[in-house]
Structure 1
């Protein structure tokens, strides 16, 4: 059963002002080998092997050098109880690289005319799924490390409005889906830490679930779930062994 429900506060200010020297995104599998799998219709999708094990290992080694900050043991009013170490920075260049260089844009928007796709979604279906026209990622990049005994209590992820600084002019945007990239799993010694979604009987919520949905950690797997008003109640379970490393951002759509 989930713990007491809490809502998340808006993202904290960046913890650093200078962009890290992020490693390159190599090696990657061909984009044609990566596709979206539906876990819960219109709510949760995953892409397995989005990053290779080697790339994940390289990134974990790099992320350990960043100045991570431990979250307070007592949350502020309205926040979910979270115990982890994190690094956060607004980095438009890295967000754009993650969107373009990894094949994420093609995964979300489609691979283009004449190219076969495993999910075979039309442009209209994709627009409906994502809540609008996807234009990039939230430049607020968050790195999470959960060590043994750490977890993120039940909560909802909020939607945020922002501006994507594209050329020739900036585009008003809002976030519609949370994006989590798992860098560790039981295969790398991390036990526990599953992301769990729960049926929700809160006032004003109409649950689409009849039972809890447990998303197990897989090294290099991408998890996307809808947030904002339609966000499902979820938690990051306690890590019982090893370390859980996650890169977090959000999908942005064009805001009219």
Structure 2
């Protein structure tokens, strides 16, 4: 197949542009074993010729290379009375024809859900004497809770979780590291900054977030939350439960989205501790052996939404000791 091009072109010698030739492309005499054409007084010099010429070149084996800005090709030049001169040349395409350089896409620093937070907050915790659980009123604002509910209802489909006399609810899990980081930075990390369990310190929440949905008749019977361990060494020690809407008999919110559905913590040898859901309120309690057995009572009217997350811990980093330099007074010889 032959191609022709008519117009003003600039011819440049290959040697002057050796650094522009791809590594897998050789000059013509190396590529096909053809000797270079001898130069005579009548042979046009490729380094200085800028004529209006007719160029015919062989089809390049790789069509994708024809779209590059600089292409080494064997050509046949017809100019004046001299034709059939074999040269190795570089065609410099005009800027308008050069392909745009593709810049790598920056990593996404935000997700749709991570942008719901209205700003940093400084929550005040509430400690209870009769149960190992910390309450955090208004950890999320009502507007933030509504956006989370709308996101779960519009973007995802809830899965039913039913076992007779054990659990009857729907849930959806989504993985969003951006939301987890934004949530931790919005105030929860500041609240837990002084917490320490032996040699472990809190470092964030797990990227997998669960939204629970309890319609009329929904419940969870007596259970305990189990800890998890990740491959990078992080472990979960505490659970975080946030009520996304309010139930009846709530002292903080006047509106009622559902009735029933209270959280009951069964403390050994004591009366159960009951929490009524209020919008944005969080419960922070231990997992595993230290977890107090708990249940979610049956919702008798409306729909209850709860966000569940695992708080992760890692080993505390020990401060590095300063290294002694050569001018240390202890290393000097008197």
TM over 0.5: yes
Among candidates 117, 126, 141, match of residue 37 of structure 1: 126
Report whether the alignment pairs 1:127 with 2:196: yes
After TM superposition, give the deviation of residue 224 of structure 1 in Å.
0.8
Distance 2:280 2:238 in 1: 18
Q: Any unmatched runs of 5+ in structure 2? A: 1-110, 248-254, 317-334
Report whether the alignment pairs 1:185 with 2:246: yes
Residue 99 (structure 1) aligns with:
184
2:199–2:315 Cα contact (<8 Å) kept: no
After TM superposition, give the deviation of residue 40 of structure 1 in Å.
4.1
1:129-176 superposed Cα distances (whole Å, 9 cap, x missing partner): x9830011122211101011100110011111114xxxxxxx511111
Instruction: State the secondary structure of the residue aligned to 1:72.
Output: strand
1:193-228 superposed Cα distances (whole Å, 9 cap, x missing partner): 1111003xxxxxxx3x51100011010111111111
Change in CA separation of 1:172 and 1:40 when aligned onto 2, cut-off 3 Å = farther
Instruction: State the secondary structure of the residue aligned to 1:99.
Output: helix
2:138–2:280 Cα contact (<8 Å) kept: yes
Residue 100 (structure 2) aligns with:
none
Distance 1:42 1:197 in 2: 8
Change in CA separation of 1:176 and 1:217 when aligned onto 2, cut-off 3 Å = same
Residue 16 (structure 1) aligns with:
none
Report whether the alignment pairs 1:210 with 2:270: yes
**Greater Rg by CA:** 2
State the TM-score, normalizing by the size of structure 2: 0.55
Name segments (4+ residues, structure 1) moved above 6 Å. Answer: none
Instruction: State the secondary structure of the residue aligned to 1:217.
Output: coil
Among candidates 103, 118, 127, match of residue 27 of structure 1: 118
Distance 1:103 1:192 in 2: 30
Residue 81 (structure 2) aligns with:
none
Alignment of 1:165-176 (within 5 A): 171-176=232-237
Instruction: State the secondary structure of the residue aligned to 1:71.
Output: strand
Higher RCO by CA contacts (8 Å cutoff, separation 6 or greater): 1
After TM superposition, give the deviation of residue 39 of structure 1 in Å.
2.1
1:134–1:254 Cα contact (<8 Å) kept: yes
Report whether the alignment pairs 1:49 with 2:109: no
2:114–2:178 Cα contact (<8 Å) kept: no
After TM superposition, give the deviation of residue 42 of structure 1 in Å.
7.6
Distance 2:129 2:116 in 1: 29
State the TM-score, normalizing by the size of structure 1: 0.70
Change in CA separation of 1:254 and 1:40 when aligned onto 2, cut-off 3 Å = farther
Report whether the alignment pairs 1:149 with 2:217: yes
Instruction: State the secondary structure of the residue aligned to 1:229.
Output: helix
